[in-house]
A and B are shown apart, each in its own frame.
Chain A
Amino acid sequence: MGRKTGEKIKNLCIFALPGCLIFGAVVILPFLYGFYLTLTDWDGVSKVKHLVGAANYMAAFSDTAFWSSMGLTLKYVVISVVLVNAVAFLLAYALTNGLKGQNFFRAGFFTPNLIGGVVLGFIWQFVFSRVLVNLGETTGWGLFSTSWLSDPDKAFWSLVVVTVWQLSGYMMLIYIAGFTGLSTDVLEAASIDGATGFQRMRRVILPLMVPSFVICLFFTLSRAFMVYDVNLTLTGGEPYGTTKLVAMYVYDKAFTSRNYGVGQAEALFLFAVVACISGVQIYLGKKKEVEA
């Protein structure tokens, strides 16, 4: 008995403990410590912290710039998620019909996802601030006469463009996997029963693709909410801080303004929003999957 217990503990220590300890030290411990930080006035340098109660949360609540950044992020997330998935779905549909060279196209559309957001942002900064402006000058198109990045509205849309450009190739792959998994029997049966292309899409393909939609929505939602790199290198939050999405706002609050307690409180608000959305989505996805 004693030997067996000893063996069990040994196995636990060898197999699970190293991984769990690292995970605990890097994810769990900081996450919990973060709650404590929100109750202090830590300035990032000194060893001394004072407990300040709920002051940081009050400050976060009344930080209008934070909430407008959150609002902007929501707008960005909704638009991006819809566009990314629409484009990805269409691409996947077009690239599963035995098109010539479809593997080549698939690989090409995915390429932006191999490259880090920092570099993608820089590439598009060049495109928006130089290439398109040049195009505007030579063609006389008003749309491109000035750099998109110097206008608050257009700078926002430039973020959306880059996001769609990047993520649609990724989501396309997941939709392709979904299309390839569709049973040809069911599709043929629908055609024989006289379903038109549109009916087939609406009544047969779309319901069967629900699992793929769930995966893609979850993926794009979480990616869009946490976007930082592209935001940093494409617009840098400019012009006049109008395109600062919430991840960047929290970063600046803590590390630039050295307002760590308030920054962490705002980060926890972001966590709450993301957690709610993920929860709702997983719930809806499970329900829908069963019905379909």
Chain B
Amino acid sequence: MIKTTKVGGTRKKVLDMTGFLAVVAVFLLYMVPFALVLLNSFKKKRDIIKNPFSVLTEKGYTLDNYVKAFDKMDFLKAFGNSLFITGLATILVIVFSSMTAYYFTRAKNTFSKVFFAMMAASMIIPFQAIMIPLVSIYGAGLSILNHRLTLVFMHTGFAMSMSVFIYQGFIKSGIPISLEEAAYLDGASKVKTFFAVVFPLLKPTTATLVILNVLAFWNDYLLPSLVLGRKELYTLPLSTYAFYGTYSADYGVIMAALVLTVAPLLILYLFLQRHIIDGVVAGAVKS
């Protein structure tokens, strides 16, 4: 008996070790593309072409790629546009979707039912089935493309259904109506009651939705490419794309541009890792 446990123990250890090494190997494989981009962003073109794996270079390392990429892709401008659009759209989605979801849960009338059903059903519509009429209405019809606020408006609209859905599930199961009634009887208005009593209780869901929406807005390419046609309005993905088209043969500069583009989110990830992972899982499981 004791002997078998012991044998089982050693065998388990060996298995654990093999498992660990397998995970490490797969992990390294997953990370290689990032490592290569980072490594080559500091190298000169000749060295990159000769051997993208080489750590030792003939021509030496350089920061020129970064200087050039930063300047030529108008990094600060694009970063600012991304920040403005993502920030404003996220705030609007959070405010409007939480209020809408609250209304849907508490006022069970025809309006609520119809719009809730429409939002739920709309989640299966692929963006491709909307983009052409969208451009037709807002471009040819209203002529309001090429404004950052138009993009903010559209981001907000597209994010509504998922956000309302997740908020609604949380409010329905987690917010007791008695709390609001107490505040309401104390003379607070409905709006005041919502922001003072209900909204703070939604914090975990709000955190989840902020993370999901920020990631979606920040990284989106297709919608911004349809709305923003002028260079000075470009978000980071748009300016990366345009930049790549012009400098595609200049590998070092391209690699530097890619590092610059992903750096803001990766730095954020370094600090908010736990929250981001939790938020993403919660979002996927609830919707």
Contacts and interface: CB of A to CB of B under 8 A. Distances in A.
Contacts of B280: 110, 113, 170, 173
Interface size, A (range): 35 or more
B269 A111 contact: yes
Contacts of B269: 107, 111, 114
Contact of B111 (A16, A37, A119, A165): A16
A201 interface: no
Interface in A30-76: 30-31, 33-34, 37, 42, 44-45, 47
B34 A123 contact: yes
Interface in A101-135: 105-119, 122-124, 126-127, 130-131, 134-135
Interface string A20-38: 1011011111110110010
Contact of B126 (A23, A37, A119, A225): A225
A174 B284 CA distance: 8
Contact of B190 (A14, A176, A260): A14
A19 interface: yes
20 contacts: A14-B190, A14-B191, A19-B99, A20-B115, A26-B157, A27-B130, A30-B137, A37-B133, A109-B27, A110-B277, A110-B280, A111-B34, A115-B262, A118-B240, A119-B262, A126-B255, A135-B53, A138-B51, A264-B132, A271-B128
A215 B237 CA distance: 29
B19 A94 contact: yes
Which size class do B's interface residues fall under? 35 or more
B124 A12 contact: no
Given A27-B122, A34-B133, A95-B23, 17 more contacts: A16-B103, A18-B100, A19-B97, A27-B130, A28-B122, A94-B23, A105-B27, A118-B241, A124-B33, A130-B48, A170-B280, A173-B284, A174-B284, A255-B135, A264-B132, A268-B129, A271-B128
A215 B33 CA distance: 28
B254 A271 contact: no
A232 B220 CA distance: 13
Nearest to B215: A114
A250 B132 CA distance: 9
Contacts of A107: 269, 273, 277
A267 B52 contact: no
A228 B222 CA distance: 8
A116 B219 contact: yes
Contacts of A138: 51
Given A15-B99, A22-B153, A177 B111 contact: no
